[in-house]
Amino acid sequence: MNLAGTASSTIISSVCGRFAKNCLPSLRAGSLSKSTNVVPSVYNRRPWSSAAIQRSDRYVLQKAAVIPVLDLAQRQNNGWTSISVMNYVAKLLEMPPMRVYEVATFYTMFNREPVGEHFVQICTTTPCMLGGCGSGVIVDAIKNHLGVELGQTTKDKKFTVIEVECLGACSNAPMVQINDDFYEDLTPESIVKVLNELAAGRKPKPGPQSSRQSSEPVGKLTSLTEKKWSN
């Protein structure tokens, strides 16, 4: 893991660059005065001037950035948040480590164990279970094609497969999320094609894997079919 040096400045610039108005002045160069009236920082004993602390009242506390910073750190650490990652984020944001642990273990977007290059999350809640061919068929197709069970990673570390709750694409069931992308309207054939493309180093087009462009009805309209009223 490389979260020191260049990586740390990447995190700071990424988060503070986008949320500059919400970052404490202590994260920005030249924000601390040389006043002798100081309050020691909890972690690195770096002195904070009382004037800088007063100025920080205009900003949201830097701990408000814990989720985007954890996300950036996870992406730099091959897709998971190790203890060292969480400790680094806690030190960077000057938060008690336990507060960072609480966030990282509460939100399912943070992985607490190493994952493969392609993180496959299969929705198996009711709409996906009943929609199209059904999520059960998709689960079987993925397991058979990759040779793994749910919760496992392939030997080549390319794929990790897990079962998840609703991902919010119910009208395009069944579907999976792979890394940041949704693949919807799946069949056993289309999900295998997606996996093969990823294994070959190519990125298949996300979204519906059917003839649909989004979530419109298949075929003709089933509602709002009346002729528009006009004068």
Summarize pLDDT for 144-157 with one digit per residue, the tens: 999 999 999 999 99
pLDDT of residue 70: 92
Dihedrals φ, ψ of 82, to 5°?
-80, 170
DSSP character at residue 62: G
Q: Take residue 105 and report the two structure tokens written for it.
A: 């273990």
Token pair listed for 51: 């004037």
| Phi, psi dihedral angles at 119 (to 5 degrees) | -95, 105
| Phi, psi angles (nearest 5°) of residue 132 | 55, -130
Residue 228 confidence (pLDDT) above 90: no
Tokens of 32: 């601390």
Pick the CATH number of 118-208 from 3.40.50.1360, 3.40.50.11260, 3.40.30.10, 3.20.20.70: 3.40.30.10
Cis ω for the linkage preceding 47 (within 30 of 0): no
Q: Please say whether the beta carbons of 206 and 198 come within 8 A.
A: no
Query: Does the pLDDT of residue 127 top 70, yes or no?
Result: yes
Assign 3-state DSSP to the chain and report helix, strand, coil percentages, each to 5.
40, 15, 45
Please write the tens of the pLDDT for every residue from 149-194: 999 999 999 999 999 999 999 999 999 999 999 999 999 999 999 9
In the chain, CATH 3.40.30.10 sits at: 118-208
CA-nearest of 88, 103, 82, 86 to 3 is 88
Q: Is the pLDDT of residue 105 over 60?
A: yes
Q: Which of 200 and 60 is assigned the larger pLDDT?
A: 200
SS3 at position 145: helix
Cα–Cα dist 130/124, whole Å: 9
pLDDT at 63: 82
Per-residue pLDDT reduced to its tens digit, 16-43: 444 434 444 333 333 333 333 333 333 3
Q: Is the predicted pLDDT of residue 201 greater than 90, yes or no? A: yes
d(CA 70, CA 61): 16
Least confident of 93-102, 183-192, 220-229: 220-229
What is the arithmetic mean of pLDDT over 92-118? 94
Q: Is the pLDDT of residue 134 over 50?
A: yes
What pLDDT was estimated at residue 9?
46
**Per-residue pLDDT at 97 exceeds 70:** yes
What's the whole-model pTM score? Answer: 0.69
183: enclosing H helix or E strand: strand 181-184
In the predicted structure, residue 84 carries a pLDDT above the cut 80? yes
